[in-house]
Amino acid sequence: MLQHVLLHDFRAAILRETRISAALTYGSWTQGEADEFSDIEFYLFCERPQDFDLPAFLGTVAPVSLLLRNEFGTVNVLFDRLVRGEFHVEPTSAIALVASWPERRIDPDRMLIKDVQGELHRALTELRARGEAAPHRGSELQQLWDRFLNWMVFGSGVLLRGERARAHELLWFVQDILVRLARLHEHALQHWLSGKRQLEREISSQALNRYAACTGGLGTLERSYVEAWTWGQELLSVLQLTYPVEPHESVLRALDDRLRAWRH
């Protein structure tokens, strides 16, 4: 695969580049899940990032078809054969912040490329230890449920106003939380932070069908919101037997009243 070549060549270029004092790669290639559609992803730490010409550096390694800064401020690159890359250039003072990243499956040996001062390896090791010691995801149930109620109120209100395209957009946030509740219910926590990743392989067909019922086009939004609301309450009724949660009964009753007209 071209990604193998790019990963090898970028690793070599990073080790040669004296302006880069530390670097890591992350994502699928460090987690044993990469395939022909996987991105290549890097963090580069420089003493003076403002003086580091990333486009010029990339061009010394491989032909670049397109370079842009995405909606989140990250540099995205398209190489040959539609291989995508993500590149972050940060000051070396930001290395310590790596230890506070959201916990993923961290493997410092696979991720680390360069570490002149040894700070990056320490930060990655600390991040891995924090992830291993993190409380069970059930501790997040209250936060998830509160957010679910918030997005349900927001989205259904927008739909009642007649803004169907916007209500369709807001339904994404409802679905995202439902996926996490379903993962928690089925103890499928492998991809918690990217909840829909490999969802088809990691939750039951019954749960996947319930998720599908919460999706749809502009013409079926009322049904999608009702399906989402029904499934969410069912998941909570089971999860609250194990994890403490305040369901907010007054909000539940008000949402039931709002959605009643959409039930057929």
pLDDT band at 4 (very low <50, low <70, confident <90, very high): very high
- CATH fold group of domain 137-262: Four Helix Bundle (Hemerythrin (Met), subunit A) (1.20.120)
pLDDT band at 59 (very low <50, low <70, confident <90, very high): very high
For residue 28, pLDDT over 60 is answered with yes
Q: What is the pLDDT of residues 204-252, one digit of tens each?
A: 999 999 999 999 999 999 999 999 999 999 999 999 999 999 999 999 9
Domain boundaries, the chain: 2-133, 137-262
What's the CA angle centered on 115, arms 112 and 117, to 5 degrees?
Answer: 150
- How many alpha carbons fall within 13 Å on the CB side of residue 195? 19
Q: Strands 84-91 and 40-46, how do they pair?
A: parallel
Higher pLDDT, 193 or 180: 180
pLDDT for the residue 102: 85
Asked if the 2-133 domain carries CATH number 3.30.460.10, the reply is yes
pLDDT band at 193 (very low <50, low <70, confident <90, very high): confident
For residue 93, pLDDT over 70 is answered with yes
pLDDT for the residue 192: 86
pLDDT for the residue 121: 97
Look-up: residue for tokens 């890359």? 85
Structure tokens at 95: 């290395």
Burial of 98 (C-beta count, 10 Å sphere; 0-12/13-18/19+)? buried
Q: What is the mean pLDDT of residues 55-83?
A: 97
Q: What is the pLDDT of residues 113-154, one digit of tens each?
A: 999 999 999 999 999 998 766 557 888 999 999 999 999 999
Distances (CA, A) of 219 to 24, 159, 198: 45, 11, 28
